[in-house]
């Protein structure tokens, strides 16, 4: 079969364990764990994969990316990962994998795990630093402090891993103007990174901590100006933006797994509270560990299901496409949804044309407009 006819899928594996809860984080995680739990959890991940793969046709669908996220995947020892990957690659073909990302938190980066990960040619790591400002790190309850960050950067620098991404968060409490630039330059002095993700601190306005932090965070004007200043700094380093929050030095370092999400490809999510999406159905697994084990044992998933009708899929196509720098592929939209994009959305395009770049069958957002993207994107949802 022609390679173009083979559908490529992403595989996401959720590791729902963290030593300590960061105050800004609303991801689900358990703080009680040991090696026995990790081994048991991975054995259920394998069982879940075997069950879910029954919905796929391996003659025209292959898994080509793996993303192990959390939580804190770096909490788990290399030996346990080795057992897990030996089993995983008995089920899925290792030769099809083009990228496998492991998320690391600085306090749990260790040489054994990194050496093991480096044994796969397709490995990529994503290190969550967020900031190097100790006062901020304390305020947000990050377990990693600057000494942990330094130690992690030293271990990474001494390893053979090349495909490295680092996460930063802008506008954290106690971060002043210029802090994110300092954070990025600090990391770059120590390791060579090919990719970075830069997020705005986002929390629900009703969150009590958010209310407290409002007094400790840059005001909106300063925050936007500093974000733009940081963007210019990132560009001056040779990174290009390919998604609202993601930058790479070269196309080969774009996150291939995350592109599956942004391109609306199917993906399988495994583990507690993991999401997956295939056959126009999105599911979210239970976040209760006992219910999860019980559900897998009974081959009866405890999960929330959402059917993606054409209206939802159109909205998501536009939303996800406008997050990417390349924007909406008009030819693809017309083909997938069997309607003319310009006919349907002419009013919105007219209203927001000063924020849009329209060229060669693509419509994208101006770089600066990405900061107000929510308003613009939501107006497409008619
Ligand atoms: S380590 Fe990551 S997943 Fe865990 S609480 Fe902090 S931000 Fe959330």
- Does a structural domain hold residue 148? yes
| Phi/psi of residue 105, nearest 5 degrees | -110, 140
User: Closest ligand 1 atom to the C-alpha of 20?
Assistant: 5
Alpha carbon nearest to ligand 1 atom 6, residue: 22
Among 239, 262, 285, the domain-final residue is: 262
CATH code for the domain in which residue 62 is found: 3.20.20.70
- Number of domains making up the chain: 2
What is the pLDDT, as a whole number, of residue 5? Answer: 80
Question: Please, which pLDDT band fits residue 2 given cuts at 50, 70 and 90?
Answer: low
Same domain? 219 vs 356: no
Cis ω for the linkage preceding 71 (within 30 of 0): yes
| Average pLDDT of span 170-177 | 96
Listed residue (97, 371, 118) closest to 221, CA to CA: 371
Find the mean pLDDT for residues 263-285.
95
**pTM for this predicted structure:** 0.95
**Per-residue pLDDT at 1:** 54
Looking at the fold, whether 81 and 194 belong to one and the same domain comes out as yes
From the CA of 17, how far away is ligand 1's center (Å)? Answer: 9
Distance, CA of 356 to CA of 330 (rounded, Å):
14
C-alpha of residue 334 to centroid of ligand 1, in Å: 40
Considering the domain architecture, whether residues 341 and 200 belong to the same structural domain is answered as no
Same domain? For 144 and 226 the reply is: yes
- Residue 298 domain flag: no
CA of 142 to the centre of ligand 1 (A): 8
- The answer to whether position 88 is within a domain reads yes
For the chain, how are helix, strand and coil distributed in percent, rounded to 5? 45, 20, 30
Same domain membership, residue 184 and residue 51: yes
- Whole-number mean pLDDT of the chain? 94
Among 238, 262, 286, give the residue marking a domain's end: 262
Q: How confident is the model at residue 351 (pLDDT cuts 50, 70, 90)?
A: confident
The answer to whether residue 35 is domain-embedded is yes
**Pocket probe mutation, ligand 1, options 23, 32, 70, max atoms within 8 Å of Cβ:** 70
Q: Are residues 252 and 334 in the same domain?
A: no
The response to whether residue 16 sits with its C-beta less than 6 Å from ligand 1 reads: no
**Which atom number of ligand 1 is nearest to the Cα of residue 18?**
4
User: Within a 13 Å sphere around the CA of 353, how many CA atoms are in the beta-carbon half?
Assistant: 9
pLDDT in tens, 146-156: 999 999 999 99
Q: Ligand 1 in contact with 75 (CB < 6 A)?
A: no
Q: From 262, 280, 311, give the residue that closes a domain.
A: 262
**Structural domain includes residue 132:** yes
Same domain? For 248 and 354 the reply is: no
Q: Has residue 313 got a pLDDT over 70?
A: yes
CA torsion through residues 297, 300, 301, 302, sign: negative
- pLDDT tens per residue, range 24-74: 998 889 998 999 999 999 999 999 999 999 988 878 899 999 999 999 999
Residue 345 lies in a domain: yes
Residue 279 lies in a domain: no
Query: Do 326 and 251 touch, CB atoms closer than 8 A?
Result: no
Q: Which pLDDT belongs to residue 185?
A: 98
230, two tokens: 């940081």
Domain of residue 334 covers: 326-378
Q: What pLDDT, in 10s, does the model give residues 187-235?
A: 999 999 999 999 999 888 788 888 889 899 999 999 999 999 999 999 9
Does 273 map to a domain?
no
- pLDDT at position 303: 80
Assess whether pLDDT exceeds 70 at residue 333.
Answer: yes
Burial track 101-118 (b if 16+ CB lie within 10 A, e otherwise): bbbbbbbbbbeebbebbe
């Amino acid at each position: 079969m022609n390679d173009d006819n083979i559908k490529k899928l992403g595989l996401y594996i959720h590791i729902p364990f963290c030593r300590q809860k960061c105050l800004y984080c609303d991801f689900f995680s358990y703080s009680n764990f040991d090696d026995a739990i990790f081994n048991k959890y991975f054995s259920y991940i394998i069982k879940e994969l075997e069950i879910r793969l029954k919905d796929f046709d391996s003659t025209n669908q292959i898994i080509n990316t793996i993303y192990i996220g959390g939580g804190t995947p770096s909490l788990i020892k290399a030996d346990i990962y080795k057992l897990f990957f030996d089993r995983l690659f008995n089920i899925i073909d290792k030769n099809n994998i083009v990228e496998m990302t492991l998320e690391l938190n600085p306090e749990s980066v260790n040489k054994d795990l990194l050496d093991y990960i480096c044994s796969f040619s397709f490995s990529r790591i994503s290190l969550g630093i967020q900031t190097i400002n100790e006062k901020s790190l304390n305020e947000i309850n990050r377990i990693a402090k600057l000494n942990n960050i330094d130690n992690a950067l030293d271990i990474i620098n001494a390893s053979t891993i090349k495909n490295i991404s680092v996460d930063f968060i802008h506008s954290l409490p106690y971060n002043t103007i210029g802090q994110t630039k300092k954070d990025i330059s600090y990391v770059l002095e120590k390791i060579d990174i090919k990719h970075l993700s830069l997020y705005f601190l986002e929390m629900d306005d009703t969150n009590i901590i958010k209310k407290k932090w409002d007094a400790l965070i840059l005001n909106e004007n300063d925050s936007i100006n500093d974000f733009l200043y940081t963007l210019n700094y990132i560009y001056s380093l040779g990174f290009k933006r390919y998604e609202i929050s993601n930058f790479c030095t070269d196309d080969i370092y774009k996150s291939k797994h995350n592109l599956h999400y942004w391109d609306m490809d199917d993906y399988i999510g495994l583990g507690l509270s993991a999401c997956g999406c295939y056959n126009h159905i999105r599911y979210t697994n239970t976040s209760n560990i006992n219910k999860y084990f019980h559900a897998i044992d009974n081959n009866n998933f405890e999960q929330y299901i959402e059917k993606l009708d054409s209206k939802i899929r159109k909205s998501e196509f536009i939303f996800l496409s406008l997050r990417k720098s390349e924007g909406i592929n008009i030819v693809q939209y017309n083909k997938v949804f069997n309607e003319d994009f310009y006919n349907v959305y002419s009013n919105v395009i007219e209203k927001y044309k000063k924020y849009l770049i329209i060229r060669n069958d693509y419509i994208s957002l101006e770089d600066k407009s990405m900061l107000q993207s929510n308003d613009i994107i939501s107006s497409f949802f008619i």
